[in-house]
Amino acid sequence: MSMLKRIRIKNYKNLRDTGDIELGPINLLVGPNASGKTALWEVMRRFNLFIRGEEYQKVWADYVDVVSDQDQKRPISFEFSTDLEGDNLVYSLTMSRLRLKEEKMVLNDEAVFHADVEYGD
């Protein structure tokens, strides 16, 4: 069974750049109010909706409200890493206001999918 090993989030609410967050089988989020605990879970929920086929515009319709400092020029990006049958799989997305800008998948340090895309309005 595969599980997330690492995540990194940039420009989502107060998470300017989390750096690499290593994950284990059980993870606890502890910290003061407004430190990003809920924001981290929100990104994971949104990512789950997106990979399950929910329309991009529905998942990210509130982009202006969730981008750091409500600065629409900043791209939101996130990256997830997992073990897939012994291989390291890294999936990343970068987006700007209502547009998915880049989608990338890397397996064992070799790009298997990379697209500079412009989904959305």
Average pLDDT, the chain: 87
3-class secondary structure, 39 = helix
- Could you give the number of structural domains in the chain? 1
Q: Which domain, by its residues, includes 115?
A: 4-119
pLDDT digits 0-9 by tens, 36-89: 999 998 988 888 887 788 877 777 788 888 999 989 889 999 999 998 888 999
Is the Cβ–Cβ distance between 82 and 7 less than 8 Å? no
Q: Is the CB of residue 92 less than 8 Å from the CB of residue 107?
A: no
**CATH label of the domain that carries residue 19:** 3.40.50.300
